């Protein structure tokens, strides 16, 4: 049985190179939009986003901290995603 996220909580965000790359590679339909900090070399991420039709926005690093409360841990990447679906055992 699959549990769907409750109404109003279906969006979340993830951050960091490896986390974002894993979602883009294995579950690209979960990714709704990317925010990429200026002056970051994320061409592989951008190419994957374009391949899957995911919009992205180049922003200042301060934007990521202000809107998502992430710091250098984000490595210049934040992705808006759908909620994670849990399964009952």
Rounded-to-integer distance, Cα 16 and Cα 88, Å: 28
How far is residue 54's CA from residue 22's CA, in Å, rounded to a whole number?
Answer: 15
**Model confidence pLDDT, tens digit, residues 39-55:** 878 899 999 999 999 99
Average pLDDT of the residues in 8-27: 84
**Of 10, 27, 32, 1, the residue nearest 83 (C-alpha):** 10
* Structure confidence at residue 86 as a pLDDT band (50, 70, 90): low
User: Would you say 30 and 54 are in contact if contact means Cβ atoms under 8 Å apart?
Assistant: no
Q: Give, for 19, the enclosing helix (H) or strand (E).
A: helix 17-26
Q: 0.95 cut: is pTM over it?
A: no
Nearest one of 2, 7, 12 to 83, comparing CA atoms:
12
Convert the pLDDT of each residue in 25-41 to its tens digit: 999 999 999 999 988 78
């Amino acid at each position: 049985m699959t549990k769907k996220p409750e109404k109003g909580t279906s969006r979340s965000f993830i951050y960091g190179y490896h986390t974002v790359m894993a979602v883009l590679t294995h579950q690209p339909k979960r990714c709704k939009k990317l925010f990429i900090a200026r002056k970051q070399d994320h061409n592989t991420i951008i190419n994957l986003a374009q391949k899957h039709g995911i919009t992205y926005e180049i922003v200042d690093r301060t934007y990521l901290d202000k809107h998502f409360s992430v710091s250098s841990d984000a490595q210049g990447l934040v992705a808006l995603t759908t909620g994670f679906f849990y399964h009952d055992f």
